[in-house]
Structure 1
């Protein structure tokens, strides 16, 4: 079968389509014929060696796929079932960008009927990140106030929808051109991140139980100042200089908290709970608003390059077998 592999760590040019042995099902796995695979920034981190993790041999790229079951001894998955997963290609598991993938049964989920497979696989990485951050890391509750920074991005849009559905008061920052979209998704107040939004929030007397910075561009001290007593900031990225400063005394005296989250460290239980949330939302037509750029396995190197160069423009690259 054909798969996108890399033999050594390095740049996007290390990726190539190769003929590899088709996997067979072993205990607790299901064989899936791949329909489509999404390309994420984390895939570039694995390929480059920036994210340290055990890899299967051969090193097949990618973690998120949608496809159909072709062989299964598992009662919950029958031949012909449409399924998805979002945790392949790291911690020693086979990667997703192959014609066939043997997926551990505890990492495989049914795809809801009537949901477009390309839109689904484009959404699962950012949507699962949003779900786990909200429900497992931050444990948001109805009536709380949440500030989402960089809300027009892939993760930000998912955060708006899920938080609003949970009864949270959502406030967002984005470019002014994205205000209408953020409001349609559930933001109750929009602020321009280029126009000194922190001063405007103070003037409007906003304080928050939670702040999520999806951009890495906002000073940590700024976000901590916007929190209520016992509030928390969650980071899913970091500034380019890898540095933040903040006042420690005010931080601990107000019992504030700082969380970091990387989906590659999510547990099987966290991923499964997120899958339930996502499938319910997908069935209701939610979280499926990504702009999909359809490519093929052979296009994987240039998709990785576009992501590394910041030329994706919020597009989600989805690869189909050649």
Structure 2
């Protein structure tokens, strides 16, 4: 089968595309014919060796895939041959990746794809949507009546954070470039502010949850906006990797800092998020990404685009045989 793989970590040029054996499944796995694979920043971290994790070489890259089940293990009862399914937690912690014609998936990491939702928008949305969902439903739990501030809300994760927070019943304040105001309002933001300006001065209420997707807002600014007992959820870091803040005020206000990367999400968190995502996908929510499709044979280029922010689109790889159709 065709696969994109590495034999050791390094730059995008380390990615090879060639033939690998079709995986053998065990009793609790399913084999899928892969239709599409998303390329995420975390994939570039794993490939480069910047994000240390167990891997066996040759290592097939990629974590998120959608496809059709062609074989099931003897102990699998919830998935059948012919089912269209997706996964979003492969290619990490010893699990092989999915940028290949066929992929073996542990059944507990497999979700049925909702009918009527096309492969490309589904798999393009999964990583950022799952990140937003776990962050706002399990890490910094957002409930109806809360106010949530999403900074840098027009990006892939930002747009999902806006929609998930709104689905949880929150009032959503978003910061963005003015060119994105209309889009974010359509996605559910109640107030949109220009992040080039002093947006904090325009916020006249305390906020229960703040997520800065860019790492460009001073922690002191966010703490001043944060309600007593509120949480700042970190999914990135400032460029200098440093924070300065008033520690006494922080602890006396019982405020919280929570860091989150989806690679460390528990299986139960991923499963709960998968159920919610399928509900929202079936309703047409969260499927708003611009998509750039490339064949497996251009996996190295795909990693370069993501690593250098060379495209604003979500990059999705498809088998060369599908790209040629």
TM range (shorter): over 0.9
Measure the CA separation in 1 of the matches of 2:129 and 2:167. Answer: 14
Match of 1:214 in 2: 213
Match of 1:9 in 2: 9
Q: Structure 2: which 5+ runs fail to align?
A: 321-325
Q: Is the 8 A contact 1:56 1:89 kept in 2?
A: no
Match of 1:181 in 2: 183
Work out which of the residue numbers 105, 120, 131 in structure 1 matches 2:122.
Answer: 120
Measure the CA separation in 1 of the matches of 2:106 and 2:181. Answer: 41
Q: Is the 8 A contact 1:62 1:89 kept in 2?
A: yes
Match of 2:64 in 1: 64
Match of 2:193 in 1: 191
Measure the CA separation in 1 of the matches of 2:164 and 2:253. Answer: 28
Measure the CA separation in 1 of the matches of 2:16 and 2:294. Answer: 14
Q: Which runs of 4+ in 1 moved over 4 A?
A: none
**After the TM superposition, which residues 135-154 of structure 1 pair with which residues of structure 2 at under 5 Å, given as runs?**
135-154=137-156
Q: Is 1:39–2:39 an aligned residue pair?
A: yes
Measure the CA separation in 2 of the matches of 1:188 and 1:39. Answer: 31
Match of 2:103 in 1: 101
Match of 1:281 in 2: 280
Measure the CA separation in 2 of the matches of 1:307 and 1:60. Answer: 18
**After the TM superposition, which residues 261-280 of structure 1 pair with which residues of structure 2 at under 5 Å, given as runs?**
261-280=260-279
Work out which of the residue numbers 310, 316, 319 in structure 1 matches 2:317.
Answer: 319
State the TM-score, normalizing by the size of structure 1: 0.97
Q: Is the 8 A contact 2:36 2:317 kept in 1?
A: yes
Q: Is the 8 A contact 2:10 2:48 kept in 1?
A: yes
Q: Is 1:22–2:26 an aligned residue pair?
A: no
Q: Is the 8 A contact 2:306 2:315 kept in 1?
A: no
Q: Is the 8 A contact 1:230 1:257 kept in 2?
A: yes
Shift of 1:57: 3.2
CA offset digits 1:104-152 (Å, max 9, x no partner): 0110000000101110000000000000000000111100010000111
Aligned length: 318
Q: Is the 8 A contact 2:8 2:57 kept in 1?
A: no
Q: Structure 1: which 5+ runs fail to align?
A: none
Measure the CA separation in 1 of the matches of 2:140 and 2:27. Answer: 35
Match of 2:132 in 1: 130
Where 1:57 maps in the other structure, the secondary structure is coil
Q: Is the 8 A contact 1:35 1:320 kept in 2?
A: yes
Q: Is the 8 A contact 2:68 2:85 kept in 1?
A: yes
Where 1:215 maps in the other structure, the secondary structure is coil
